[in-house]
Each structure stands twice: as structure tokens, then as C-alpha cells.
């Protein structure tokens, strides 16, 4: 049985479609999308942000309205550490990416630990959550709440958000390509130590400098050192601590973030153990991203198919067309067809242009440090 969409939904969807295909920066896009969602669905408080598709951690672009700062830390702690309904990771990987809490709990939202905590900190009754998915990955997160117990989110509300979610996801994915890096400073890695309250215990000068350069969704103040801590760093610390308390503590938490100038950094967060083997402080290393850190995101943003990615990787290693065909067990003509498709998607006409467009424009490192040269002299990114 079909569900009627809310009043004004069709025109709002058209505006969202235009906005997400306009090439606007992610922040501008999210602000516009939030306005349209609020106009059609309505909410007393909401949170919309871009997300890293591989970790689902919030990224720099986003909007928060009506949610007091005291909610920030417990919001993410419950997301990472407490089993619950409609968690972002479950929505992104499930059959339905948008869900209403009342429906998920059979009309008993108090079954949700997150809802109980949020209701203690602010007025919350109804809750709608979702992820903006495309290509099987979540590129953004949505959390909306209403105060009135008699004003629940309807099936029509859920249907509308579901219908526009792929548009938003495509726009967020494409936004990675609209703000190329302008280069990076010569500063090396920095380290900071965070305690159980996510406060800085100690930090190197380089770490403090990098913290100030991260383009962040929100920057709460660390009262201990008087330093603003980007939300993205806080999330990495929280997730690292959650991993250390479970069976997922084999690897450090790695998060990609952008700087205020459009460059890329990588945050490594690892929970240390005390003398009794219990989780303790979290060590955070912030360093300039390597080619291999950035390339997967850029590849996905250009919507390359798995086979096109195989061909691109082989090309990046300096292989000639016939060598690519032999390695991938394809005909030379099939390889040429894949290359033609890649060139069209990226908007280039040669190998050298492909590398410059997919890598140099979005990374900003000294180009000679990260390329090799094939026999014909075309620059090719080894890291792809």
C-alpha cells in the first residue's frame, strides 16, 4: 500500500535535487537540505551532517539546531557503546536507511537507552533517524526529534526522507570533488593524550596546531588546556575507547578529516592499557594524509565501478593497455572501453590528466613525491 507524501514534498524534493547537483560545497548543501527537511517534515531539534562512508563518523560539514551542547558527548557515547534501536551503523547497512523510533520500539520509545538519556537532557518524545546512502555506503547522517508526545513522525515523513536520501548522498559524495586541496604545510605528525572524560592530558605543539586547522562540525572547549577540540577528534577518541572495551580493539581507529584550507589529515586513535590491563587514556596521532588514505574516497566520489577501479589501479602502476588486459584477463578493446568510461567520468583525456584530476587536485602534496613515471613519461600515482 502506497503512502501519501507530506504537503509540499514534491517541490521540496525538486529543490533538494537542484541543490545537490549544483556543485555547492558540502556545508552549503547540508544547510539547504536541512531547511527543506524542516519545511516538509518539521522538527523541534535536528542534526544533519556529512559522514566518512567507511567509518560513518561525522565529518566537518553539518548543522545542529535545538540540541544543547551538553547532549553532544552522551549522544555519541550511546551511539558507539550502547546497543540500541536505529543506530546509524545498522541503518546504513540495513534494508531501510530511514526509521522512526516509535515504530522500531513498538510504540515504546523508553526501550531505547539513547532516548532515555536524551529525554533526561532535553525535551524529546518523537525521534526520526536516517543515513544518506548511495553505492551501498552512508555519506551522511540525520537525527530529528519532536517534543510533543502527540506529534509523532508519520509514515509519510519517513517516506519523504527516504525518497530524498539518495539525492543528498550523491550530492555529499560529489562535494568531495568541488573543494580541491590548496596544499599542506610542512608540519609533521603530532600527538595528544586524552583522558576518560575526553580532555587533553598532554599534547605536542604540532598536535595543538593541527587541532586548530581541522574543519569541524563543532568545537567544544577543553577547559583544562583552553583548546577547542574538533568533534571529529572527540568521536575518534570515543570510538577507540569503545573498541578497547570490546573485541574490536585489534586496530587503531583511523579517521580522515579535512583542514580549513581543503587539505586532508588522518587521525589515529588508540586506547592504551593500564598496569592491570584495563582501558586507560587514548593516544591520538594527527598527521598529513598519504595518497593511499585519500584515494579510496576520491575513487568512490567519481563513481568508478569495481572493474574500472581495477583498470585504474593497473594504469596507475604504469602498465600499458595490453599489459592491463593480460593481467585482468580482458581483451584490449574491453580495457580501452573501461578507460574511456573512466576518462568520461573524471572529465579527462589522458593518463597524466587522470592522475592530476583524481589525485593532485584533491591531495595537495608535492606531486613529485607521490608519483612514478611510466616508460612514456606520464605521471602515475603508485598509491592507487
* CA dist., res. 122 & res. 326, Å (int): 62
* Residue 307: other Cβ atoms inside 10 A: 14
pLDDT (tens place) for every residue of the chain, 384 residues total: 566 777 789 999 999 999 999 988 889 999 999 999 999 999 999 999 999 888 888 887 899 999 988 898 889 889 988 899 999 999 999 999 999 999 999 999 999 999 999 999 998 999 999 999 998 899 999 999 999 867 899 999 999 999 999 999 999 998 877 654 444 556 789 999 999 888 899 999 999 999 999 988 888 877 677 888 998 899 899 888 888 877 555 567 888 888 887 788 899 999 988 777 788 899 999 998 876 677 778 778 888 888 888 888 788 777 889 999 999 999 999 999 999 999 998 888 887 777 667 655 555 443 333 333 333 333 333 333
Residue with cell 591531495: 363
Residue with cell 567520468: 345
Q: Contact, 110 vs 163, CB < 8 A? A: no
Task: Answer whether 9-175 and 190-289 agree in fold.
Answer: yes
Q: How is domain 293-381 classified at the CATH fold level? A: Arc Repressor Mutant, subunit A (1.10.10)
Residue 335: which of 317, 310, 316 has the closest Cα?
310
Residue 105: which of 116, 94, 97, 95 has the closest Cα?
116
Give this prediction's pTM.
0.77
Q: What is the bridge-based pairing of β-strands 379-381 and 371-373? A: antiparallel
C-alpha grid cell, residue 252: 587503531
Q: Contact, 167 vs 133, CB < 8 A? A: no
Domain boundaries, the chain: 9-175, 190-289, 293-381
Is CATH 3.40.1350.10 the classification given to domain 190-289? no
Q: How is domain 9-175 classified at the CATH fold level? A: Beta-Lactamase (3.30.450)
Q: Contact, 265 vs 216, CB < 8 A? A: no
Residue 293 host element (H or E): helix 291-301
* CA dist., res. 75 & res. 115, Å (int): 10
Computed on alpha carbons and rounded to an integer, the radius of gyration of the chain in Å comes to 22
For residue 157, what are the contacts with CB-CB under 8 A and spacing of at least 6? Answer: 6, 41, 100, 128
Amino acid at each position: 500500500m502506497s503512502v501519501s507524501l507530506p504537503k509540499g514534498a514534491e517541490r521540496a524534493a525538486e529543490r533538494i535535487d537542484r541543490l545537490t547537483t549544483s556543485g555547492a560545497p558540502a556545508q552549503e548543501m547540508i544547510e539547504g537540505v536541512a531547511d527543506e527537511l524542516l519545511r516538509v517534515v518539521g522538527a523541534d531539534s535536528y542534526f544533519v551532517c556529512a559522514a566518512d562512508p567507511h567509518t560513518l563518523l561525522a565529518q566537518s560539514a553539518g548543522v545542529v539546531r535545538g540540541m544543547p551542547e551538553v547532549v553532544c558527548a552522551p549522544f555519541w557515547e550511546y551511539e558507539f557503546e550502547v546497543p540500541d534501536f536505529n543506530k546509524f551503523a545498522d541503518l546504513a547497512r540495513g534494508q531501510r536507511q530511514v526509521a522512526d523510533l516509535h515504530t522500531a520500539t513498538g510504540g515504546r520509545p523508553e526501550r531505547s537507552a539513547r532516548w532515555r538519556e536524551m529525554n533526561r537532557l532535553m525535551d524529546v518524545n518523537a525521534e526520526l533517524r536516517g543515513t544518506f546512502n548511495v553505492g551501498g555506503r552512508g555519506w551522511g547522517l540525520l537525527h530529528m526529534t519532536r517534543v510533543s508526545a502527540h506529534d509523532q513522525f508519520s509514515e509519510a515523513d519517513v517516506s519523504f526522507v527516504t525518497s530524498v536520501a539518495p539525492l543528498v548522498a550523491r550530492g555529499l559524495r560529489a562535494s568531495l570533488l568541488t573543494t580541491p586541496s590548496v596544499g599542506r604545510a610542512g608540519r609533521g605528525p603530532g600527538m595528544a593524550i586524552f583522558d576518560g572524560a575526553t580532555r587533553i592530558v598532554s599534547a605536542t605543539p604540532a598536535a595543538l596546531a593541527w587541532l586548530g586547522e581541522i574543519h569541524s562540525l563543532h568545537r567544544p572547549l577543553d577547559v583544562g588546556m583552553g583548546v577547542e577540540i574538533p568533534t571529529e577528534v572527540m568521536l575518534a577518541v570515543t570510538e577507540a575507547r569503545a573498541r578497547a572495551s570490546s573485541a574490536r580493539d585489534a586496530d587503531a581507529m583511523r579517521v580522515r578529516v579535512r583542514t580549513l584550507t581543503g587539505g586532508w589529515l588522518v587521525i589515529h586513535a588508540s586506547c592504551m592499557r593500564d598496569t592491570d590491563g584495563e582501558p586507560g587514556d587514548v593516544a591520538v596521532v594527527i598527521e598529513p594524509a598519504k595518497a593511499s588514505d585519500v584515494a579510496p574516497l576520491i575513487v568512490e566520489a567519481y563513481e568508478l565501478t569495481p572493474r574500472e577501479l581495477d583498470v585504474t589501479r593497473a594504469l596507475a602502476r604504469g602498465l600499458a593497455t595490453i599489459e592491463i588486459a593480460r593481467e585482468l584477463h580482458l581483451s584490449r578493446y574491453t580495457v580501452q572501453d573501461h578507460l574511456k568510461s573512466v576518462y568520461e567520468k573524471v572529465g579527462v583525456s589522458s593518463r597524466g590528466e587522470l592522475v592530476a584530476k583524481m589525485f593532485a587536485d584533491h591531495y595537495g602534496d608535492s606531486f613529485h613525491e607521490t608519483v612514478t613515471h611510466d616508460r612514456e613519461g606520464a605521471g602515475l600515482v603508485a598509491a592507487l
